[in-house]
Amino acid sequence: MRDRAFRRPSGEEDSFSERRPTGIALPVSCILKISSRCNLDCTYCYIYNKGDKTHLTRPRVMSLEIARAAIREITEYASRNGITEAVVALHGGEPLLVGKPWMTRFLDDVRRMAPADVRLSFALQSNGVLMDADWLSLFASHEVQVGVSIDGPAAWNDHHRVNHQGKGSYSRVRKAIDLLVAQGAKSPPWGILVVADPRFPGTEVFRHLLDIGVRNMDFLWPDYHHEEGPPWNADLLGRYYIDLFDEWYGNADPSVRIRWFESLLQLILGGESQISALGAQPVTDVVVETDGSLEPLDMLRICGDGMTLTGLDVRRHPIERLRETELYRMGLKNQELLPHDCLRCPVYGLCGGGEMPHRWSKKNAFSNPSVHCESLLAVIEHIVGIVRKEISFHAVTSRSNDAVVQTISG
């Protein structure tokens, strides 16, 4: 899950233009790819089914030696930059393929390694197939936040999320979700990730998740770019998100959360987005692969085989060295690469060009609008319109609301 992974001390605001002694923008997330393989073969997977083959040459499981080196560098990086909290996302492939003994040893070790001036927290994203009560107990005891991927009811989920024999994953993933729901307060904090597909109504996916007890969720924009566009018209994806927003907003239950919508609303109301896919931000993600390789945002691998290779190794190089690589520098100046039409767009400050990989073309690299531009514009304008109606009944007194009025009135 693409949350902010490094947080400043309470009371300090993020400033991506701020210069730190290390000369690098602070990472938004740090991801450990503890497994390079997966027990599913999802049709849309950006790691295995979008052309990149680098996983084939890497160890199946990250060694504990590399994992410790990565945690050591992450915490030292945080200390060097005066960051008091570091959140590390454990990803794959499928991270549970490392096995329970490996995970237990790793979590025990890193708790002892964390310096006193850095609070270390963990999140894990899983396909849920291997998850059982013992896994959940382990994660709860170490306060590891858990994300599980599912795309809705069985017929829809099993269209994309299949194993290597082509069989659907819904029944096994549903057991994991049922366990999380049944354990209630004993469960680790958890949520669901859905990859949007407008051929299956988002409202029905949302209702299904509510019916099975899910309250925290996000709907990811599918991974396409200008060399491989989506197999549907832009208005279909826009309508998917508009209908989904209306269903969620009309539900009026603050305990039911959709991260992308909440982040957009925070931006509209003058706050900050908690995800890199919204708002005019640099892309500062740091990834450590199973062989120790330091790389930028892993989604960028959809743009070409070996695109994210840097030659850096977390055992020998500080995180700051990423800034010397061309692709990471492009992420840091992500907004400068946008075409003029994007910068002049009335919703630019909210959209920020969308996900960087979705702008890729061989001709212009990342100097394109998002392949989802029309859909993003329709969704954002719809939500801004609803916010405008809501605040029109109240006197605008705060600076943040005044900024909203100026933004949405053009």
Q: pLDDT tens across 174-208, in order?
A: 999 999 999 987 888 899 999 999 999 999 999 99
Highest mean pLDDT among 79-88, 308-317, 341-350 belongs to 308-317
Contact 136, 146 (CB under 8 A): yes
Domains in the chain (CATH in brackets) are 6-333 (3.20.20.70), 336-408 (no CATH)
The predicted model gives 270-297 an average pLDDT of 88
- pLDDT given for residue 57 in this prediction: 95
3-class secondary structure, 28:
coil
Tell me the pLDDT tens digit for each residue of 361-385. Answer: 999 999 999 999 999 999 999 999 9
Mean pLDDT of the chain, nearest integer:
89
Share of the chain above pLDDT 90, in %: 76
* pTM, 2 dp: 0.88
